[in-house]
Amino acid sequence: MIEARRLSVSINGTAILQEVDLQLTPGSITGLVGESGSGKSMTSLAIMGLLPRGAKVSGQVTLDGRDLLATSEAEMCRIRGNRIGMIFQEPMTALNPLMNIGDQVAEVLRIHHRMDRAAALARAREKLDRVGLPEPRFPLTLFPHELSGGQRQRVAIALAIAERPDLLIADEPTTALDVTTQAQILDLLAGLVRDEGMALLLITHDLAVVAGIADRVAVMKAGRIVEEGPTEMLFRRQAHPYTRALFAASRHAPAGTGPAGEKDPLLQVQGAVREYRLPGNAGVLRAVDEVSLTIGRGESVGLVGESGCGKSTLTRAILGLDPLQSGNIRISGQEVSAGRSMPRELRARAQVVFQDPFGSFNPRWRVERLVAEPFHLTGYPPGWRNRVGAALEEVGLSPGDARKYIHEFSGGQRQRIAIARALIIRPDLIVLDEAVSALDVRVRAQVLDLLADLRRSHGLAYLFISHDLSVVRGVTDRVLVMQKGRIVEDGLAGQVIGAPNHPYTQSLIKAMPRIPEGWVAA
């Protein structure tokens, strides 16, 4: 059993963790929940003895009664991997791209046991079978690039459990994955804990994920564990105000977003087809396949699908960045075309907010210039600086922020600036491309509220693109579900989520992690 007692960490005098107590018992799953910067990952690094240089640690981390903080680095190397395994959020970078998956798993065994290659490979085969990558479809000779994100995460899990560790630490293991893949990986982790009797520390920002799988939950805020207890009890009680705030935010749906859309169509997509030639002679990929959809003026429509379903390609076509091979897209009856030929007035009708608050802005420009960039379409009006100030106020920032650079803002604030940029030329349609996916739940709730308010005050229409049905539910009137380049379901939001027709939608809804209805205190 692994136990942290009064574990505190400070870096350069700043307290990162304060008196963290955690008990990780064999065969149980502990969920560690909190927002970014709350110290979740730092807790796991402290347990592993992998803190950055200059960090001061106090308290105790014991493994079967032995104090890990007092253990030498050479000894810790043996313990890590041997008795504590770890998997990370990003399966794309967790594996060595130049080594096949068999050798990667075998390497761990050879380092720790000095096994010969054949024996290690046999064990690797066993472990890969265990994580759901069986022969003959997944030979040991596959390379990471030949696998999907979910399959890579399985290889990462195989690596972590190769030594039958006592503790497995999973740091946001499913955040980068699609919902259906997420459900499978969570199943796999739960099965491993059950069968191998190890302890699992599951770090996540998603309350619904821990609800379905964890035995105990610890809620972390600003380096402290503010509440800890058996999952169901904690969910029902929510003793700490922060826990309550977190729960409220995760179920938040902005008020007053009924089906207010007018009949007058704003965006019409008809029979849109977009194909890509695959490398070599592998033929063509039809990323968008005969898609037709309509968005009315002032209507908010969700477009949901898993990665690779074609929603980004469709978005690029709607924004006039990529041409279509056939079909057409109209905004207010005018046809959208890619590149220079698209009239500026038409471009000014649709704007966009992207997912990544960190990649959405030129780091060398002041906010003023960033927000004003769409004026390129309409010409900079006299007094455009005041317009920027007003737009910043509309999104809840102050006009004085215009003189700052983007690195001075948090992720949530950046998303507000992105919304200000989209609003500044008063478009009719804003495409929200996973616009809240990268935000913490409480910040996300605020941004969703802001979007709902702006929609009411400006009569905006939204195309809300997301891989996450639960986000879309609260803020859209209508939901479209996309699979393999086609729209497979189109209906009112409540209907699609409550009573889905298409088997694919049903599988999405089934895989969606959720907090059981009865658990949540009113």
- Go through 350-378 and write b for each residue having 16 or more CB atoms within 10 A of its CB, e for each that does not: bbbbbbbbeebbeeeebbbebbbebbebe
Tokens standing for residue 24 = 């990780």
Among 347, 444, 455, 478, binds another protein (CB under 8 A): 347
**Spatial distance between the Cα atoms of 30 and 28, rounded to a whole number of angstroms:** 7
Tokens standing for residue 154 = 């399985």
123 binds another protein (CB under 8 A): no
Min dist. Cβ of residue 102 to another protein (A): 31
**Spatial distance between the Cα atoms of 450 and 456, rounded to a whole number of angstroms:** 10
Is the backbone peptide bond immediately before 357 cis, with ω within 30 degrees of 0?
no
Planar angle of CA 50, 55, 59, nearest 5 degrees: 85
374 binds another protein (CB under 8 A): yes
Among 47, 94, 352, 461, binds another protein (CB under 8 A): 352
Q: Which amino acid is at 350?
A: A
Written in H, E and C, the secondary structure of 126-150 is HHHHHCCCCCCCCCCCCCHHHCCHH
Min dist. Cβ of residue 416 to another protein (A): 15
Are 227 and 34 within 8 A, CB to CB? no
Region binding another protein by CB under 8 A among candidate stretches 91-99, 324-332, 349-357, 476-484: 349-357
Region binding another protein by CB under 8 A among candidate stretches 105-113, 372-380, 449-457, 459-467: 372-380
Residues binding another protein: number (CB under 8 A)? 28
Question: How far, in whole angstroms, is CA 143 from its chain's centroid?
Answer: 25
Region binding another protein by CB under 8 A among candidate stretches 185-193, 261-269, 368-376, 468-476: 368-376
361 binds another protein (CB under 8 A): yes
350 binds another protein (CB under 8 A): yes
Please tell me the total number of residues recorded for the chain in this structure. 522
344 binds another protein (CB under 8 A): yes
Region binding another protein by CB under 8 A among candidate stretches 59-67, 76-84, 91-99, 343-351: 343-351
Query: Which of 113/458 has CB closer to another protein?
Result: 458
Decide: helix, strand or coil at residue 225: strand
Region binding another protein by CB under 8 A among candidate stretches 95-103, 117-125, 229-237, 319-327: 319-327
373 binds another protein (CB under 8 A): yes
Q: Which amino acid is at 74?
A: A
**Binders of another protein among 416-445, rule CB under 8 A?**
418, 421
Query: Which of 123/347 has CB closer to another protein?
Result: 347
Min dist. Cβ of residue 360 to another protein (A): 4
6 binds another protein (CB under 8 A): no
3 binds another protein (CB under 8 A): no
Spell out the alpha helix ranges (H) of 343-430. 344-347, 367-372, 375-378, 384-394, 411-423
Among 232, 356, 368, 449, binds another protein (CB under 8 A): 356
321 binds another protein (CB under 8 A): yes
43 binds another protein (CB under 8 A): no
Residue reference for tokens 């998303």: 415
Query: Which of 249/419 has CB closer to another protein?
Result: 419
**Binders of another protein among 323-342, rule CB under 8 A?**
340, 342
Tokens standing for residue 115 = 């096994």
**Spatial distance between the Cα atoms of 371 and 362, rounded to a whole number of angstroms:** 11
481, containing H or E segment: strand 478-483
Min dist. Cβ of residue 417 to another protein (A): 11
360 binds another protein (CB under 8 A): yes
Region binding another protein by CB under 8 A among candidate stretches 108-116, 140-148, 344-352, 450-458: 344-352
Question: How far, in whole angstroms, is CA 117 from its chain's centroid?
Answer: 38
Among 257, 268, 355, 413, binds another protein (CB under 8 A): 355
235 binds another protein (CB under 8 A): no
Q: How many CB atoms lie within 10 A of CB 66?
A: 11
407 binds another protein (CB under 8 A): no
Min dist. Cβ of residue 322 to another protein (A): 10
Min dist. Cβ of residue 406 to another protein (A): 9
Phi, psi for 429 (deg, rounded to 5): -130, 135
Is the backbone peptide bond immediately before 97 cis, with ω within 30 degrees of 0?
no
What Å distances lie between residue 242 and 225, 237, 309, 312, 440, CA to CA? 11, 12, 37, 36, 14
351 binds another protein (CB under 8 A): yes
Query: Which of 298/427 has CB closer to another protein?
Result: 427
Written in H, E and C, the secondary structure of 342-356 is CCHHHHCCEEEECCC
Query: Which of 125/421 has CB closer to another protein?
Result: 421
Min dist. Cβ of residue 92 to another protein (A): 15
Query: Which of 111/342 has CB closer to another protein?
Result: 342
Query: Which of 173/427 has CB closer to another protein?
Result: 427
**Spatial distance between the Cα atoms of 447 and 258, rounded to a whole number of angstroms:** 18
Region binding another protein by CB under 8 A among candidate stretches 162-170, 198-206, 294-302, 317-325: 317-325
Are 325 and 487 within 8 A, CB to CB? no
Min dist. Cβ of residue 384 to another protein (A): 13
Tokens standing for residue 173 = 């293991």
Spell out the alpha helix ranges (H) of 261-400. 311-318, 344-347, 367-372, 375-378, 384-394
Which positions lie near another protein, rule CB under 8 A? 319-321, 340, 342, 344, 347-348, 350-352, 354-356, 359-364, 370, 373-377, 418, 421
